[in-house]
Chains A and B, each alone.
Chain A
């Protein structure tokens, strides 16, 4: 038998994600009431906002993992950091994509520089792509250290970017586009929460899967080295 423990945990998380995602899709498209102003396109909100918040959770996980790695030099934190940043980047790119679709449907244009959230996510994508550029041009123990430092720097600049974009826009456009936020009715809120939990569960599942793969890969390499060292010449 191979990997019963982690395999089972991933299976549980995977099933949970599948059930929650199915519920979120059904709820968002069929059950939730239609928005009076925006019509059907408003239903993208259930996924767009859930994806966006999940990407921030991923970057926060990478930030914490970075701090822990710098303190303990435990390689597992480095792995959690790099996988989280990768997933966060994926979710951020999806945020920009779904946000752009929403912008086209409700404002008539694919890109709106005066929407601080969308612009911040574009900056965030650039920032965290640089993380991988940095990582790929350093080797050995330094790789984990520099990645951790950059994860901290990048996470610190996310709120600064958001604030700067928002302030700059408020001086140009007095009214910033607002979403329904917490003003939405409970019938909408519940499906948003389901969708949000589904996205977070998807993040945890993917994180665990990727970590398992990396650890298996490392164990395999160590095994190969050991076999090579005992092989008769």
Chain B
């Protein structure tokens, strides 16, 4: 294993180990997602007979809000316990710090999705098919890439600002709107009576392009976030 890979592994394991010991972030994210789904149901779910066409939108609006919560939370130990000072002093490239943080956010999102996707289908979809889950899993993975990369970059900046908890959603959500549009569209395409595969494929491709573009932006700018 190369030095970079070992460093990445150590950084990622640090985050995951911390989460396994405290279990703060993932559980709070899951609870938040369930409450948000219920808010959607009480907000407009009652007013339609069949909520299936709304399910994709409800799922991804919920997951985007949950992502903001999780990304913001993931930087708390860095700030409160001065972990970041140690990390920045260590001879590790900044890009690896970003990659490891994105990987841990990706993992948190995956845990949340394992719970929320079945819940959304139970709550909002009439007769879900088993194959739909595999297709939605792919949407989750591709959407998470963009969410994790962009979220890690913006949260790293927000952590040094005064109104950090308030600022992160304001910075992150408008930039996440394309992900909500595409992943809700892809989910909707497969949840209907007949799967619309060209539409689904188009959205998946878009989510990949989104992830690649922000990976490049993050790679080019991340060094400057910690350039003190």
Contact = CB atoms under 8 A, between A and B. Distances in A.
B170 interface: yes
Interface string A143-162: 00110111011101100110
A123 B163 CA distance: 22
Given A133-B170, A138-B162, A164-B206, A157 B175 contact: yes
Contacts of B210: 160
A177 interface: no
Given A134-B171, A145-B227, A168-B181, A163 B153 contact: no
Given A161-B177, A167-B206, A133 B221 contact: no
Contacts, number: 89
A153 B163 CA distance: 20
A166 to B, nearest CB: 10
A138 B161 contact: yes
B95 to A, nearest CB: 14
B76 interface: no
Interface in B177-228: 177-178, 181-182, 185, 199, 202-203, 206, 209-210, 213-214, 217, 220-221, 224-225, 227-228
B65 to A, nearest CB: 15
B171 A150 contact: yes
Interface residues of A, number: 29
A137 B217 contact: no
B52 to A, nearest CB: 16
A57 to B, nearest CB: 20
Given A123-B177, A160-B178, A171 B161 contact: no
A164 B174 contact: no
Contacts of A10: none
Contact of B153 (A148, A153, A164, A171): A153
A70 interface: yes
B157 A137 contact: no
Contact of A126 (B150, B157, B174, B217): B174
Interface of B: 150, 153-154, 157-158, 160-164, 167, 170-171, 174-175, 177-178, 181-182, 185, 199, 202-203, 206, 209-210, 213-214, 217, 220-221, 224-225, 227-228
6 contacts: A142-B160, A142-B228, A149-B153, A149-B224, A153-B175, A163-B178
